[in-house]
Amino acid sequence: MSLARVLTRAQLGIEAPLVIVEVHLSAGLPSLSLVGLPETAVKESKDRVRSALLNSGFDFPAKRITINLAPADLPKEGGRYDLAIALGILAASGQVPEKSLEGHEFIGELTLGGELQPVPGVLPCALQSGKDNHVLVVPAANAGEASLCSSAECRAAGTLLEVTGYLHGQNRLAEVDSGRPAAVHFAEAADLADVRGQPQARRALEIAAAGGHNLLFIGPPGTGKTMLASRLPGILPPMEEEEALVAASVSSISGQATDWQEQWRVRPFRAPHHTASGVALVGGGATPKPGEISLAHAGVLFLDELPEYSRKVLDVLREPLESGRIVISRASRSITFPAQFQLIAAMNPCPCGYFGDPSGRCRCTAEQIRRYQGQTSGPLLDRIDLHVEVPPMPPALLQQAPPGESSAAVQQRVMAARQCQLDRQGCTNAGLSGNQRDEVCQLTADDQAWLMTAIEHLQLSARGFHRILKIARTIADLEGTQQTGRAHLMEALGYRTLDRYLQS
Ligand SMILES: Nc1ncnc2c1ncn2[C@@H]1O[C@H](COP(=O)(O)OP(=O)(O)O)[C@@H](O)[C@H]1O
Ligand SMILES: [Mg+2]
């Protein structure tokens, strides 16, 4: 047999489309040509595969070797195809039985010595090959990641020789068993019980969690804004399996080393610095990689010191905030990454940070304050449902305040309120579309009239009005009440303090 086929997988966003490696040996001057890979990748792959084969004791066929990776229009960068290419050459030259390749997929980079190196994106490959009922052979260093996929048969190998031994039926390859931890791991370090006082901010955090609303904390330094924000993942409902697999797939393709067991079903919390580039935040690059907003999928994106971020970068967030995904366009194709995150932002009330502090140390003028608050991207602020002030607490009071309620207790209420929303409308209140919102948040004629007067008085926009309805609905859900009432509306109005800046 001088023609062999080996199955492997490419990486396209969080998808892993099937790639067929065809290897053909023919008479002629010894040469190796690789069709379908960019030139630099071809050269590196050729060199690695040749050395790996020779160093593993195989013959490198003195023939004309033509290798084709099909389909032609898939991204084919990187060393992920090394193992499949090496096996293709071995099968075409009769050094492994071609029949043994059937029903298998292979992924992994080779070292010159023939060891298998880990590659990014193994989890999406495993999920897909499980659907196709194939056995997936992965590098041993990727076994932890592959173990998150319970629907595929994955086998781990450390070297090319282990793989060929397995194909000859001489040795076994350890089956990667589904090693998901049964319980969700919670970082004990971050519990809401640590936050003392700040009842209004805690309440807003609970509402944000319950309805999936975005939230902005405004307050001077040291009042616990960062502390509060980092505790949001711990009060959100536990992740569903599907969500967890998507989140893990994003980590997988980002190529960042992760403790898969520790991270499984833990909602991400990402806090990119305000100097982060647009690409770091939303994703991109020559070989598109997911950005912070995708790494925060199913979790929380925290933007501290919001006015410090460049407006241009913040404006890019608007689209994913609405759609829950980010599309990165390239000349040849566009790639979609998931980006369904909850946004928490924090900012000081003024340039010096101490506006409203009882010490009176703030000397910022009204104009400076307006400019500072106004420099934040208006369209982004407009997508943040809840604005809440986090006032300074005198140190003595902070000391005396008893520990707050634990995250576990708050999470119970959040879960109950979420369930109300899912049963009623199949999505969170934050995710309600216009028509759904009007249907779900119906007010009595009295309350409707009252709210209109309040809106007029506070000079809120139509958008602000809609946000108030949704927040009021979440407050009612936390209470377990069917009818959105006056008390809910009044509380909700209190969370739109920044609206006056949005209009100017
Ligand atoms: N309400 C609070 N309860 C307990 N500790 C607090 C509180 N507010 C501030 N602290 C303490 O002050 C430190 C700074 O808080 P941080 O959340 O970073 O403030 P901010 O982000 O508002 O500047 C925290 O690490 C914590 O030790
Ligand atoms: Mg902070």
What is the Cα–Cα distance from 23 to 5, expressed in whole angstroms?
6
Do residue 133 and residue 209 come from a single domain? no
Do residue 108 and residue 165 come from a single domain? yes
Mean pLDDT of the chain: 89
Do residue 447 and residue 356 come from a single domain? yes
Do residue 248 and residue 102 come from a single domain? no
Q: Is the confidence at residue 94, as pLDDT, over 80?
A: yes
pLDDT at 135: 97
Exposed e or buried b per residue across 70-91, where buried means at least 16 C-beta atoms within 10 angstroms of its C-beta: eeeebbbebbbbbbbbbbbbbb
**φ, ψ (nearest 5 deg) of residue 373:** -70, -30
Greatest alpha-carbon span in the chain = 90
pLDDT at 504: 40
Do residue 405 and residue 484 come from a single domain? yes
Confidence of residue 34 (pLDDT cuts 50, 70, 90): confident
User: Does 197 sit in the ligand 1 pocket, CB within 6 Å?
Assistant: yes
What is the Cα–Cα distance from 21 to 67, expressed in whole angstroms?
7
If one compares 330 and 123, the residue with the highest pLDDT of the two is: 123
User: Does 349 sit in the ligand 1 pocket, CB within 6 Å?
Assistant: no
Distance 235 CA to ligand 1 centre (A): 18
Q: Is the confidence at residue 258, as pLDDT, over 90?
A: no
**186 Cβ partners below 8 Å, 6+ apart?**
234, 266, 407
Return the residue whose CA atom lies nearest to atom 27 of ligand 1: 224
What is the Cα–Cα distance from 146 to 106, expressed in whole angstroms?
13
Percent of the chain whose predicted confidence (pLDDT) is above 70: 94
CB 340 within 8 A of CB 293: no
Cα-based angle 38, 42, 47 (whole degrees, multiple of 5): 160
Q: Looking at ligand 1, which atom is closest to the CA of residue 198?
A: 1
Do residue 235 and residue 341 come from a single domain? yes
- Domain at 56, CATH number: 3.30.230.10
Distance 392 CA to ligand 1 centre (A): 10
User: Does 436 sit in the ligand 1 pocket, CB within 6 Å?
Assistant: no
Do residue 325 and residue 356 come from a single domain? yes
Confidence of residue 262 (pLDDT cuts 50, 70, 90): confident
Helix or strand run (H / E) with residue 137: strand 135-139
Q: Looking at ligand 1, which atom is closest to the CA of residue 390?
A: 22
- Separation of first and last alpha carbons in the chain: 75
User: Does 485 sit in the ligand 1 pocket, CB within 6 Å?
Assistant: no
Instruction: Identify residue 387 by its one-letter amino acid code.
Output: H
User: Does 223 sit in the ligand 1 pocket, CB within 6 Å?
Assistant: yes
If one compares 434 and 449, the residue with the highest pLDDT of the two is: 449
Q: What digits encode the pLDDT tens for the residues 209-254?
A: 999 999 999 998 889 999 999 999 999 999 998 999 999 999 999 9
Do residue 165 and residue 251 come from a single domain? no
Predicted TM-score (pTM) of this structure: 0.91
pLDDT at 503: 44
Instruction: Identify residue 207 by its one-letter amino acid code.
Output: I
Neighbours of 308 (CB within 10 A): 14
Distance 168 CA to ligand 1 centre (A): 62
What is the Cα–Cα distance from 255 to 120, expressed in whole angstroms?
5
Q: What digits encode the pLDDT tens for the residues 165-197?
A: 999 999 999 888 776 665 555 555 589 999 988
Q: Looking at ligand 1, which atom is closest to the CA of residue 217?
A: 22
Which ligand is closest to the CA of 230, given by its number? 1
**192 Cβ partners below 8 Å, 6+ apart?**
202, 205, 231, 234, 235, 404, 405, 406, 407, 410
User: Does 391 sit in the ligand 1 pocket, CB within 6 Å?
Assistant: no
Q: Is the confidence at residue 123, as pLDDT, over 90?
A: yes
User: Does 431 sit in the ligand 1 pocket, CB within 6 Å?
Assistant: no
Quick check: helix, strand or coil at residue 136? strand
The separation between CA 383 and the C-alpha centre of its own chain, rounded to angstroms, equals 19
User: Does 195 sit in the ligand 1 pocket, CB within 6 Å?
Assistant: yes
Percent of the chain whose predicted confidence (pLDDT) is above 90: 61
Residue 343, domain extent: 192-503
When divided into structural domains, the chain yields a total of: 2
For residue 180, what are its two tokens?
A: 């998901």
- With DSSP H G I counted as helix, E B as strand and the rest as coil, what are the percentages for the chain, rounded to 5? 45, 15, 40
Q: What is the mean pLDDT of residues 129-146?
A: 95
Report yes or no on 186 lying in a domain: no
Q: Among 121, 145, 176, which residue terminates a domain?
A: 176
Q: Among 117, 145, 176, which residue terminates a domain?
A: 176
Report yes or no on 304 lying in a domain: yes
pLDDT at 458: 81
Q: What is the mean pLDDT of residues 114-125?
A: 95
Confidence of residue 395 (pLDDT cuts 50, 70, 90): confident
Q: What digits encode the pLDDT tens for the residues 287-304?
A: 889 999 999 999 999 999
Which residues, in sequence order, are bridge partners of residue 154?
A: 136, 176
Do residue 165 and residue 202 come from a single domain? no
User: Does 225 sit in the ligand 1 pocket, CB within 6 Å?
Assistant: yes
Do residue 164 and residue 243 come from a single domain? no
pLDDT at 43: 74
Report yes or no on 468 lying in a domain: yes
Do residue 253 and residue 139 come from a single domain? no
User: Does 17 sit in the ligand 1 pocket, CB within 6 Å?
Assistant: no
Q: Among 176, 207, 222, which residue terminates a domain?
A: 176
The torsion defined by the Cα of 241, 245, 247 and 251, in degrees rounded to 10, comes to 150
User: Does 303 sit in the ligand 1 pocket, CB within 6 Å?
Assistant: no
CB 219 within 8 A of CB 348: yes
Q: What digits encode the pLDDT tens for the residues 349-364?
A: 888 888 877 777 888 8
Distance 90 CA to ligand 2 centre (A): 58
Pocket test for ligand 1, best of 196, 198, 217, 223 (most atoms within 8 A of CB): 223
What is the Cα–Cα distance from 74 to 93, expressed in whole angstroms?
27
CB 260 within 8 A of CB 147: yes
pLDDT at 432: 92
Which ligand is closest to the CA of 194, given by its number? 1
Q: What is the mean pLDDT of residues 432-451?
A: 91
Do residue 233 and residue 106 come from a single domain? no
Return the residue whose CA atom lies nearest to atom 9 of ligand 1: 224
Distance 393 CA to ligand 1 centre (A): 10
pLDDT at 370: 80
Cα-based angle 187, 154, 66 (whole degrees, multiple of 5): 125
Pocket test for ligand 1, best of 191, 218, 225, 227 (most atoms within 8 A of CB): 227
pLDDT at 377: 67
What is the Cα–Cα distance from 473 to 158, expressed in whole angstroms?
55
Distance 275 CA to ligand 1 centre (A): 23
